[in-house]
Amino acid sequence: MNKEVISGNQLIALVFTFLIATATLFLPAFVTKNAGQDGWIAPLVAGLIGIIVVIVVTTLGLRFPKLTLIEYSEIILGNWLGKLVGLIFIVFYIHLTAIIISEISTTISSTILTDTPIKVITFILFIITAYGVKKGLEVITRINILILMVTYLAMFICLALLLKDMNIELLTPVLSNGIIPILKDSVPVTGWFGEIVSIAFLMPFINKPEETRICSIWGIIWASVTLSFFVALVIMVFGAKLSSNLTFPTLEAVRIINFSDYIQRAEIIFLIPWLLANIIKICFFYYITVFVISKWFKLERMSFLVLPVGLIIFSMSLGLFKSNVDLVEFLGKAWGMYSLPIELGIPIFLLIIELIRKKGRT
């Protein structure tokens, strides 16, 4: 596992995928509640928070080359406090991965396989992603490149088929209510962009660690512009008020495609690439969770942890939310406030202590 290497371009593609994979389906409803037709600006604002996270964790990573956040937190804070930080990240990544699995299995159950028990869907996801994690990070990043091509092709097809249903006037007037509503709606989005803290565990795998910052920032810019585009697309189809009341607004926009009665029920064009991208996202965070646990316990091999950790995560995902309503409420109201103190707060705290104690190299 320690011999795995990924390139800067693979990192850009990976960052893009894990930032937008689940967000494309839920995001338009969250960012139009207060901001209305200005909701498309919220992902751009949240992207700035992601860039701040990147700057902080790469500054730390370059001061402690070939070490991950789990390892250098013990050097900066001492053994006991460093272990506590590592434990917080273990619990956080187990919870985060379980949430992602719950998002995907619940969506599949309510949209594609409506008669299939959610436990069966979750079990199938477990088998697929556990195999991917066993194969390692290099395999995950290479497959991600192929899936990304399919995803963009599907996006282009959906855009072309929806052009006749769009009304650009629904995006106006711009900033009619000021910037405050946009900032309010940016909070849940920052939780998604804060997931970029994961590069703190990827830096030892990058073939040129000094390029991690710029590559990650390019990935964030790409993701924030794409998400902004998705929000604008939904608003131009439904308007801001209706968009904010839909559970899956992007999917509903694709469902109205009707091209001369020859092309209907086109949501499968969107859902298959969406599902593939989210399988990559599960594989990535599942891998990071196993990797963090192995580093915390200072284990040489992590492969034997894949199945037991996976059983914990996938079992946990089944009990997190009772329905789509609970899931959407959590993502829209609690996720940003819950995740940011960990994703941004802890790295900033570590950097401040490091600048005072100077344990790493300058």
Which of left, alpha, beta for 284 (phi over 0: left; psi -120 to 50: alpha)? alpha
Q: What is the pLDDT of residue 219?
A: 94
* pLDDT of 119 strictly over 50: yes
- Residue 192 sits in a domain of what CATH number? 1.20.1740.10
Q: What is the pLDDT of residues 29-82, one digit of tens each?
A: 888 888 888 889 999 999 999 999 999 999 999 999 889 999 999 999 988 999
What's the CA dihedral at 302, 303, 304, 306 to 10 degrees? Answer: 100
Nearest one of 37, 44, 51, 14 to 227, comparing CA atoms = 44
Looking at the domain assignment, is residue 297 inside a domain? Answer: yes
pLDDT over 70, % of the chain? 96
Q: What is the pLDDT of residue 263?
A: 60
Q: 302-321 burial, b if ≥16 CB within 10 A, otherwise e?
A: beebbeebbeebbebbeebb
Q: What is the pLDDT of residue 116?
A: 85
Looking at the domain assignment, is residue 3 inside a domain? Answer: no
| Residue 214 in tokens | 């710029």
pLDDT over 90, % of the chain? 46
Q: What is the pTM of this model?
A: 0.92
Looking at the domain assignment, is residue 362 inside a domain? Answer: no
* pLDDT of 187 strictly over 60: yes
Q: 106-140 burial, b if ≥16 CB within 10 A, otherwise e?
A: bbbbebeeeeeebeebbeebbeebbebbeebbbeb
* pLDDT of 261 strictly over 80: no
What's the mean pLDDT in 327-347?
89
- In whole angstroms, how far apart are CA 239 and each of 184, 198, 258, 317? 19, 35, 19, 33
Looking at the domain assignment, is residue 51 inside a domain? Answer: yes
Looking at the domain assignment, is residue 266 inside a domain? Answer: yes
* pLDDT of 262 strictly over 70: no
What's the mean pLDDT in 146-164?
81
Q: Which residue has the tokens 């928070």?
A: 49
Nearest one of 350, 358, 1 to 200, comparing CA atoms = 350
How many domains is the chain built from? 1
Looking at the domain assignment, is residue 2 inside a domain? Answer: no
Q: What is the pLDDT of residue 3?
A: 65
pLDDT band at residue 244 using 50, 70 and 90 as cut-offs: confident
pLDDT band at residue 1 using 50, 70 and 90 as cut-offs: very low
What's the mean pLDDT in 328-340?
87
* pLDDT of 254 strictly over 70: yes
Looking at the domain assignment, is residue 276 inside a domain? Answer: yes
Looking at the domain assignment, is residue 1 inside a domain? Answer: no
Nearest one of 309, 259, 275 to 289, comparing CA atoms = 309
pLDDT band at residue 362 using 50, 70 and 90 as cut-offs: low
Domain that holds residue 234: 8-357
